[in-house]
Structure 1
Amino acid sequence: MKGSLKAIVVAATLAAPIITFAQTATPLTRTQVQAQLRALRSVGYDPANVSNNYPADIQAAEAKLADRQAASSMGSDVGGSSASGYRPPVSRLKSESTYSH
């Protein structure tokens, strides 16, 4: 009896870390997966192409995509502007029947 209880305690102790690390990341949505696939296709990856070097193909496409994204993020300033907190003036039309009392 004590031997089986020890075995259960030992098994539970060893299984606890495995259970805690089972699902740490949230799963991707269908839209996220489709966006990733479009991005990989934009650098030349074709999932329908049957080749013997599968991991190398997708890894090369991911590397190209990472290079493209790094290059585009280090580009020059495009001159965008932001008007945070700006509220445009409201024109008060006296001729409208809604505003006349």
Structure 2
Amino acid sequence: MNPLPRVVLGMLAGACCFASAAALAQPYDPSQPLTRAQVRADLVEWRQAGYDPLDWIDYPENAQRAGAIVAQRRAQHAGTLAPAGQTTQ
């Protein structure tokens, strides 16, 4: 049995793993559509911040308040994920 095809197959599998890992590390791009899971996670985050999509009476204030809370949490989370030596503004 010739080991060359196994080596080529291993190199191909390694290249595919590297390419998929690099694709997952891409930053958020607003021009790209979100996945269903991302939209659901975003809704959960907004609901935890106090947003109720069925509260149409207090709609603008409710959404603005929850949006401010979500933005603040995301800023805090981004600040904790900053690499050592870098500061966030």
Q: Which has the larger radius of gyration?
A: 1
What is the TM-score when the length of structure 1 is the normalising length? Answer: 0.41
